[in-house]
C-alpha cells in the first residue's frame, strides 16, 4: 500500500494544486501538480495500491490502463523521491 505521509496536503491554486506541509514539517521546495496529479494524490491519501491508481485513472480518463501505466509509475517514483509517500 502507498499512502501520502501525514502532514502533507494539496491546496488548489488556479488550475493546479500545490503540496504544502502542515505543522512542524521542514519542507523546502514547491511541488505543483495538475488535475491528473491531484487525482493520483487523492487516491494515495486513501492508501491505494499503485495498480488501483492506474485502473481508477484509466477508467476516469477512458483509456487503456497499459497506456498510462508508465506515466503513473513515474509520478509515484517522483513522490517517493520527494519523501512524500510511505
Tens of pLDDT, residues 26-56: 666 678 889 999 999 999 999 999 999 999 9
Question: Is 61 among the domain residues?
Answer: yes
Question: Is 3 among the domain residues?
Answer: no
Question: Is 34 among the domain residues?
Answer: yes
The residue segments making up the domain with residue 43 are 8-81
Q: Whole-angstrom Cα distance, residue 23 to residue 71?
A: 31
Question: Is 86 among the domain residues?
Answer: no
Q: Whole-angstrom Cα distance, residue 54 to residue 66?
A: 8
Question: Is 38 among the domain residues?
Answer: yes
- Number of structural domains, the chain? 1
Whether the pTM exceeds 0.95: the reply is: no
Q: Whole-angstrom Cα distance, residue 46 to residue 84?
A: 14
Q: And the C-alpha cell for 70? A: 508508465
Amino acid at each position: 500500500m502507498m499512502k501520502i505521509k501525514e502532514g502533507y496536503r494539496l491546496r488548489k491554486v488556479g488550475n493546479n494544486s500545490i503540496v504544502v506541509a502542515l505543522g512542524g514539517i521542514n519542507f523546502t521546495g514547491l511541488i505543483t501538480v495538475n488535475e491528473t496529479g491531484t487525482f493520483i494524490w487523492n487516491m494515495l491519501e486513501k492508501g491505494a495500491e499503485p495498480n488501483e491508481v492506474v485502473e481508477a485513472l484509466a477508467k476516469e480518463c477512458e483509456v487503456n490502463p497499459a497506456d498510462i501505466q508508465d506515466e503513473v509509475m513515474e509520478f509515484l517514483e517522483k513522490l517517493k523521491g520527494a519523501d512524500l509517500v510511505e
